[in-house]
Chains A and B, each alone.
Chain A
Amino acid sequence: MNSIITDTAAMERIQEILNKKKDMIKLSLSACAHCSICSDSCFKFTSNINDPTYSPAYKVINSIGRIYKKKGKLSDDEYRTIKNLIWNKCVLCMRCYCPLGINIPSLIACARSICREKGVYRTYDEAEEGRQI
């Protein structure tokens, strides 16, 4: 089980990451037209066609988008939900593309960095959310 670190040092590091990537996150989130065309480029989405939460846009908006809007101050449960989105529903294969040129993998990688600082990440012996192998 991952430990949830909520100390001040972790929050400071999260702020640091957010400040460093602020321009990219802010521009990407505001330029996103929510067209969902990026979905066609995601093999996880195309193989789970009935689940729209696999769409790259959904993953970005509900991971880094939420973290950025709340300045990293999310509850542990919210971080766990994000973890499920950016690790279990994305393999960071970098094959997704946006017609507007938004760098989706960079945004998801940024969300992963923040989650790691928070102590939320996927371990190699983990099969699915809540299940260990």
Chain B
Amino acid sequence: MNLAIPDFYDFLRGPGFAVSIIIFLSVSLYRTLCLIRATRKIQKISINTEKYIHRGSIPEQGNLLRRAVELLKIRIKNTIFGTNPVMGIISLVFHLLLFITPVFLSAHNIIADLTIGISLPAIPEQLTDIFTLLIIALGGFFLARRLFIPRVRMISTVRDYLTLLLVMAPFLSAFIAYHHFFNYRVVIYSHMIIGEIAIIIMPFTGLIHMPFIIFSRFFIDSEYSIMPGNRSW
């Protein structure tokens, strides 16, 4: 029995993780191909927008910073940062932290280094601890938003609450494990299992917006695209 536990740990950090990543990547790739099939290339009409839109709103001469701010204001006017900046910033911070915290966590990188000999730069543990707390707090904010704002509540399904739980569970378990609040071994195993399940389930749920975001920002032309895309639905 004592031997079984390290075996299971090795399985979770080795083949278990590899399988979850393979499933995540293959399903995401398949769904991305579906997305490409559902969109079409468009012939864009060349309009000198600088001439029509920016005239009068941006000073021709003057402070570079002022010009940059004016340009940014026009660019974000029709996005959530223009209509609801607080929600926009909260959402941006939450999504950035969801990516940065696990990828640059020192513990994860030590395991990666021990397993495959490759690691990424690590963020100090105290900082990732704060990031985790922030993620949990923002997760609470999104839950409250779903529960108390009628327009969000009306379109929320059980699946949405489960998805939020699935996103938050690895961070909650990580926080509990890091601070040794309960039985460390039980919590860390739960963290690894939940994390891998989350990676597997991600492309099958609404969380597919994670890989799709690359397309909506860089390939499909919209108010939110960072680069002018040449595809349309």
Point out residues on A near B: beta carbons under 8 Å.
Answer: 23-24, 26-27, 30-37, 39-41, 45, 52-53, 55, 57-58, 61, 97-101, 103, 106
Shortest distance from the beta carbon of B117 to any chain A beta carbon, whole Å? 36
Chain A residues with Cβ below 8 Å from B157 are 34
In the complex, the answer to whether B156 meets A27 with C-beta atoms within 8 Å is no
Q: For residues 140 through 186 of chain B, which have their beta carbon under 8 Å from a beta carbon of chain A?
A: 146, 149-157, 160
Select one of B83, B152, B209 contacting A36, CB under 8 A. B152
Among residues of A, the one whose C-beta sits closest to the C-beta of B204 is A30
Asked if B216 CB lies within 8 Å of chain A CBs, one says yes
Select one of A27, A36, A98, A99 contacting B151, CB under 8 A. A36
Select one of A24, A39, A97, A99 contacting B233, CB under 8 A. A24
In the complex, the answer to whether B233 meets A106 with C-beta atoms within 8 Å is yes
In the complex, the answer to whether A31 meets B155 with C-beta atoms within 8 Å is no
Among residues of B, the one whose C-beta sits closest to the C-beta of A49 is B151
Among residues of B, the one whose C-beta sits closest to the C-beta of A54 is B151
In the complex, the answer to whether B156 meets A52 with C-beta atoms within 8 Å is no
Asked if B104 CB lies within 8 Å of chain A CBs, one says no
Chain A residues with Cβ below 8 Å from B187 are none
In the complex, what distance in Å separates the CA atom of A55 from the CA atom of B233?
21
Chain B residues with Cβ below 8 Å from A61 are 155
Residue from A30, A53, A98 with most neighbouring chain B CB atoms (10 Å): A30
**Interface of chain B: mostly helix, strand, loop or mixed:** helix
Shortest distance from the beta carbon of B222 to any chain A beta carbon, whole Å? 5
Chain B residues with Cβ below 8 Å from A39 are 151
In the complex, the answer to whether B31 meets A100 with C-beta atoms within 8 Å is no
Chain B residues with Cβ below 8 Å from A33 are 160, 206-207, 209
- State whether A97 and B224 are in contact (beta carbons under 8 Å apart), knowing that A27-B31, A37-B84 are contacts in the complex: yes
Point out residues on B near A: beta carbons under 8 Å.
Answer: 31, 34-35, 37-38, 78-80, 83-84, 87, 91, 146, 149-157, 160, 205-209, 212-213, 215-217, 220, 222-225, 232-233
| Interface pairs (15), CB distance under 8 Å | A23-B37, A27-B31, A30-B205, A32-B206, A52-B151, A52-B154, A58-B154, A98-B224, A100-B212, A100-B213, A100-B216, A101-B212, A101-B215, A101-B222, A106-B233
- State whether A34 and B220 are in contact (beta carbons under 8 Å apart), knowing that A24-B38, A27-B34, A27-B35 are contacts in the complex: no
For the complex with contacts A33-B209, A98-B222, A101-B212, 11 further pairs of A-B residues with Cβ separation under 8 Å are A27-B34, A27-B35, A31-B208, A32-B206, A34-B160, A36-B155, A39-B151, A97-B78, A99-B79, A100-B213, A101-B217
In the complex, what distance in Å separates the CA atom of A58 from the CA atom of B151?
8
Closest 8 CB pairs of A and B: A101-B216, A23-B38, A52-B151, A103-B233, A40-B83, A36-B152, A52-B150, A24-B38
Chain B residues with Cβ below 8 Å from A40 are 80, 83-84
In the complex, what distance in Å separates the CA atom of A95 from the CA atom of B153?
23
Chain A residues with Cβ below 8 Å from B37 are 23
In the complex, the answer to whether B151 meets A30 with C-beta atoms within 8 Å is no
Shortest distance from the beta carbon of A37 to any chain B beta carbon, whole Å? 5
In the complex, what distance in Å separates the CA atom of A57 from the CA atom of B151?
9
